[in-house]
Amino acid sequence: MRLLTVAAAQMGPIAADEGREAVVDRLLALMDIASERGAELVVYPELALTTFFPRWHMELSEANHYYETEMPGPATKVLFDEAKRLGIGFCLGYASLTAEGRRFNVYHLVDKTGETVGIFQKVHIPGHDEYESWREFQHAERHYFEPGDDFPVWRAFDGIVGMAICNDRRWPETYRVMGMQGAELILIGYNTPLHYDPDPTQNALAGFHNALVMQSGAYQNGAFVVGVAKGGIEEGVDSLAQSMIVAPSGQIIAQCITTGDEVAVATIDLDFTKTYKHTLFDFAKYRVPDAYRRITEQTGVELPPEKI
């Protein structure tokens, strides 16, 4: 058995004027609760240090204060210090502005000794680039972030760990690319508004779709998935909560029940991944790459919109 106690540290809303120090205090409180409950890894949401600023369209130069230029920085060092003191790892989502002026939506994994394991850059950037006046609120992630181009995995926490951010979780390739590298534990943070302007018929299905994709991704790749929300009504926009820990069986084994700051904990056995990786989803034995290639070649054309 390779037992690991993991915590989904869900956050409620972060107000636009809530300073980094106040937010970090909340992260520390969640970390302490997780640690008291035996967690060795605490997983925070996407963009966990600020409000979800892509709901507003502004000049990039006006948005700079939402980005981190160093990690740890002056406000976040205490999080690294406390985690090291407690001997707990963590995964933190934030907006990153690099020295070269590049902007990414990242997930940063830190081990129990306070050392960085890896930094993942969100690949599937949803929403739009230009201001769109017809929307109730903006989702201008494509204005604020460039996409990453990889789903790496890392050996950490005695297992093989991968990361994804929010919209990435809706795409089967996200899990499969990591699954092909043996991922046993996939960490996912999200901010999912409950109102989707391009097609409001999807609004009522937000919770269903959230569970659907993470449970399928876990099951079809024999991996544990930890999905962590920033939920509740933030600056007037209601977002999905329902953070969850999913087993390779596809079953939800822990889930948050509020829309605020809350910790859901589960002790998982990373060896349980073999139950699926070595049977139904034995990739080496059952995948048919030649067929997939042929099908992709045949269907890999872009359909004009009227035919979709």
Active site residues: 46, 122, 166
182 touching ligand CDT, by CB under 6 A = no
Binding residues for ligand CDT restricted to 1-30, rule: CB under 6 A: none
Q: Which DSSP string do the residues of 257-302 spell out, in sequence order?
A: -SSSSEEEEEEEEGGGGHHHHTTTT-HHHH--HHHHHHHHHHH-SP
137 touching ligand CDT, by CB under 6 A = no
Q: What angle do CA 186, 115, 226 make, to 5 degrees?
A: 15
Name the residue among 52, 32, 51, 55 with its Cα closest to residue 42.
32
Q: Which is nearer to ligand CDT, 223 or 240 (CB)?
A: 240
Stretch that binds ligand CDT, among 1-9, 25-33, 189-197, 287-295 (CB under 6 A): 189-197
Name the residue among 92, 220, 88 with its Cα closest to residue 157.
88
Stretch that binds ligand CDT, among 67-75, 152-160, 184-192, 273-281 (CB under 6 A): 184-192
CB count in 10 Å sphere of residue 28: 16
243 touching ligand CDT, by CB under 6 A = no
178 touching ligand CDT, by CB under 6 A = no
Binding residues for ligand CDT restricted to 43-82, rule: CB under 6 A: 46
190 touching ligand CDT, by CB under 6 A = yes
239 touching ligand CDT, by CB under 6 A = no
Stretch that binds ligand CDT, among 163-171, 242-250, 255-263, 278-286 (CB under 6 A): 163-171
196 touching ligand CDT, by CB under 6 A = yes
Q: Which is nearer to ligand CDT, 96 or 191 (CB)?
A: 191
86 touching ligand CDT, by CB under 6 A = no
Distance of CA 196 to the CA centre of its chain: 19
Distance of CA 128 to the CA centre of its chain: 20
Strand partners, 227: 188, 244
Q: Which DSSP string do the residues of 141-163 spell out, in sequence order?
A: HHHH-PPP----EEEETTEEEEE
126 touching ligand CDT, by CB under 6 A = yes
Stretch that binds ligand CDT, among 30-38, 82-90, 111-119, 191-199 (CB under 6 A): 191-199
CB count in 10 Å sphere of residue 305: 6
192 touching ligand CDT, by CB under 6 A = yes
Q: Which two tokens stand for residue 269?
A: 């056995």
Counting residues that bind ligand CDT (by CB under 6 A) gives 11
Q: What angle do CA 253, 167, 78 make, to 5 degrees?
A: 70
Q: Which is nearer to ligand CDT, 135 or 274 (CB)?
A: 135
Is residue 10 within 8 Å of 43, Cβ to Cβ? no
Binding residues for ligand CDT restricted to 273-292, rule: CB under 6 A: none
Stretch that binds ligand CDT, among 151-159, 165-173, 215-223, 285-293 (CB under 6 A): 165-173
C-alpha neighbours within 13 Å on the C-beta side of residue 218:
26
170 touching ligand CDT, by CB under 6 A = yes
Is residue 95 within 8 Å of 191, Cβ to Cβ? no
> Which residues of this protein are in contact with ligand CDT, per CB under 6 A?
46, 126-127, 139, 166-167, 170, 190-192, 196
